[in-house]
Structure 1
């Protein structure tokens, strides 16, 4: 089963990963890749470089970032292949533990629905 993990952070905190954190995350990601769990991962650029497009009753609205009304944003993601949500959660607990006491980070783990396979045949 595939899981999309959304990494939520406070974009306005000013925190940047230091060398220790980058090394810890690198080690964990190599371990996840070797275990066949890590499909893909990356960080996202700030919302100042983003755009939101919304439709309401057929009317499109485009909003350029940054989105000041939003404190918590998706700062990155993992795509995991794991036999269960519990295993995916175990890996993400290790990811969060690597951040230590200085960070506030949240991971939302969502199983993919497989809809694209159904639509494409």
Structure 2
């Protein structure tokens, strides 16, 4: 089994469609989707994000990182939330992504989450990471 992050991204059209729907309808659709993943035993985690205007961006490029209030730059796409699922294959993770109750202007990027086994076991920091994971009970 591997973990995959389903990264929800939207644009201005997605935001307009979201705002046009009754909030209760959106919450119910997401709740049903989440419930189906829980019942199937694939959902590990998932959360939505607050409005980008509430966030900040820390940009690295010079000697000192620059902090800018959100939203930032050109808003072609915005990361709005995620689910982490555990499935045997990326194809199954993609099938779950395709069931998300999202409309026009939304995308879901599916990416495998690296596990400790993806790194050299003889590295001091990887060994420490393994200990931290064990201590956290994960």
Fold match (TM-score > 0.5)? yes
SS of equivalent to 2:25 = helix
Shift >6 Å, 4+ stretches: none
Query: For structure 1, which runs of at least 5 residues remain unmatched after alignment?
Result: none
Query: Higher strand fraction: Structure 1 or Structure 2?
Result: 1
Aligned twin of 2:97: 92
Query: For structure 2, which runs of at least 5 residues remain unmatched after alignment?
Result: 120-125, 131-138
Aligned twin of 1:67: 72
TM-score normalised per structure 1: 0.82
Do the aligned partners of 2:12 and 2:105 also contact (CA within 8 Å) in 1?
no
Query: Higher helix fraction: Structure 1 or Structure 2?
Result: 2
SS of equivalent to 2:47 = strand
Show CA shifts across 1:56-89 (max 9, x none). 2533111111214223100111111111110010
- Farther-moved stretch of structure 1 (20-29 vs 76-85): 20-29
**When the two structures are aligned, how many residues end up with a matched partner?**
117
Aligned twin of 2:52: 47
- Farther-moved stretch of structure 1 (30-39 vs 67-76): 67-76
Do the aligned partners of 1:11 and 1:75 also contact (CA within 8 Å) in 2?
no
CA distance in 1 between partners of 2:54 and 2:27 (Å): 23
CA distance in 2 between partners of 1:113 and 1:58 (Å): 30
Do the aligned partners of 1:11 and 1:46 also contact (CA within 8 Å) in 2?
no
CA distance in 2 between partners of 1:33 and 1:62 (Å): 38
CA distance in 2 between partners of 1:112 and 1:99 (Å): 23
RMSD after superposition: 2.3
TM-score normalised per structure 2: 0.73
